[in-house]
C-alpha cells in the first residue's frame, strides 16, 4: 500500500463512514423543494428533497437519493447534516469551502465536481422553491437539470 498521506486521507475513515452509512439518505414525499443533478463525467445522479419548518425558511429536514462515487456520496451526506436547521438563504450562500473543509482532504479538479454535486443540486432546489441565488456560475457544472 502507499504511504502518501494525501491519498490515505482521501479515503479516510470519516469519508468511508459517510459513504457506507449516509446521513439523510432517502426521499421526502411532498417535499417543499427538490431538484435533480447529474455529473456528466460519470453519469452520477443525485436528487435532493427539502422540507421547511413552520417559518417557511428554516430547513427542517433534507434528504438525498441517487448514485455516485464515495466522494460525491460522502460529501452529500455531510451536507445533509450541515444544512439542517439553517435557513434557505444561509444554505444558498454557503461557501463551497465550508463543505470542502468538512471533507478535509485536497481534491483534484475532477473529484471536486464529484464533491460539489450535492451542494449545487441543493442550491438549485432552494432557488426553485425560494428564489435564492444560484451557485456562482453553477461552479464547474454544465449539465444541471433545472426541470
Nearest distance, CB of residue 106 and other proteins, angstroms? 13
Measured from the CB of residue 4, what is the shortest distance to other proteins in angstroms? Answer: 7
CB count in 10 Å sphere of residue 36: 17
By C-beta, is 53 or 106 nearer to other proteins?
106
Which residue lies nearer to other proteins by CB, 33 or 71?
A: 71
Closer residue to other proteins in complex, CB, 1/101: 1
Choice between 8 and 57, CB closer to other proteins: 8
Inter-residue long-range contacts of 44-51, CB under 8 Å, 24+ positions, other chains counted: 44/68, 44/69, 44/72, 44/114, 44/117, 46/72, 46/76, 46/117, 46/118, 46/121, 47/121, 48/76, 48/118, 48/121, 48/122, 48/125, 49/125, 50/88, 50/122, 50/125, 50/126, 50/129
Q: Cβ closer to other proteins: 11 or 146?
A: 11
Q: How far is the CB of 75 from other proteins (least distance, A)?
A: 13
Q: Which residues bind other proteins (CB under 8 A)?
A: 1-2, 4, 7, 10-11, 16, 41-45, 67-71, 111, 114
Shortest reach from residue 60's CB to other proteins, in Å: 30
Min CB(43)–other proteins separation in Å: 4
Amino acid at each position: 500500500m502507499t504511504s502518501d498521506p494525501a491519498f490515505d486521507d482521501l479515503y479516510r475513515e470519516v469519508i468511508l463512514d459517510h459513504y457506507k452509512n449516509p446521513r439523510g439518505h432517502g426521499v421526502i414525499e411532498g417535499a417543499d423543494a427538490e431538484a435533480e443533478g447529474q455529473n456528466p463525467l460519470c453519469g452520477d445522479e443525485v436528487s435532493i428533497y427539502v422540507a421547511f419548518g413552520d417559518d417557511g425558511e428554516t430547513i427542517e429536514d433534507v434528504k438525498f437519493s441517487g448514485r455516485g462515487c464515495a466522494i460525491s456520496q460522502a460529501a452529500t451526506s455531510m451536507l445533509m447534516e450541515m444544512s439542517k436547521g439553517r435557513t434557505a438563504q444561509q444554505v444558498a450562500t454557503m461557501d463551497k469551502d465550508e463543505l470542502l473543509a468538512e471533507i478535509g482532504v485536497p481534491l483534484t479538479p475532477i473529484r471536486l465536481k464529484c464533491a460539489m454535486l450535492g451542494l449545487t443540486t441543493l442550491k438549485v432546489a432552494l432557488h426553485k422553491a425560494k428564489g435564492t441565488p444560484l451557485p456562482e456560475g453553477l461552479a464547474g457544472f454544465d449539465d444541471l437539470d433545472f426541470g
